[in-house]
Amino acid sequence: MIRVEMVEGAAHRVIGMRRQGRYEDVIPLLGELVAFAEEHGIERAGPPAYIRHETDLGEAARAHHAGTADLEVVLPVEGSVEAQGEVGIYDLAGGPMARIIFMGPYEELEEEYRDFFAWLDRHGKRVAGPVREVFVNEPWENPGQDPVVWIYAPVE
């Protein structure tokens, strides 16, 4: 049984990168963004996240298999930061969100999404924007380690 909490998501100033690819590219891309921040002395203000733009599960599956999934990764930052190359900086909005916590192989995340979206539908909630996967641990540092991911869906 899935456990869903209703929370107020915080707004963050973030650095971010965006590419097309497959979902297994997310964790290496997160590692690339974190390495960029470390190399440039950027102060982290929280764990990195993947912004999932495909909120329809069918659309997500098609994009994944075609290698055209919209992969955006972000890292909350503090202090003065400037955009460089493919790394941009912007404000990520907060607001009312539904949250679940996923612990396990990233390959099993799609089933968790099906359960999460079914719960939202049963409870009259509509996903109102891109879903965020916040990586509490850093699996790109320890290959083979299962990620711990807090998944936030903006809702109305």
Print the domain residue range for 53: 5-154
Of residues 139 and 61, which shows the higher confidence score? 61
What average pLDDT does this structure show over 52-61?
Answer: 88
Q: Looking at the 3D structure of the chain, how many domains does it have?
A: 1
Q: How confident is the model at residue 155 (pLDDT cuts 50, 70, 90)?
A: very high
The model's pTM? 0.90
Nearest to 54 by CA among 73, 33, 71, 75: 71
Q: CB–CB of 46/94 below 8 Å?
A: no
pLDDT for res 105 = 86
Q: pLDDT tens across 73-118, in order?
A: 999 999 889 899 999 999 999 999 999 999 988 788 889 999 999 9
DSSP 43-78: EE-S--EEEE---SHHHHHHHHHHT-EEEEEEEEEE
**Percentage with pLDDT > 70 across the chain:** 100
pLDDT for res 145 = 78
CA distances 109 to 47, 52, 85, 93, 122, Å, are: 19, 12, 31, 24, 20
Q: What is the CATH number of the domain that holds 69?
A: 3.20.80.10
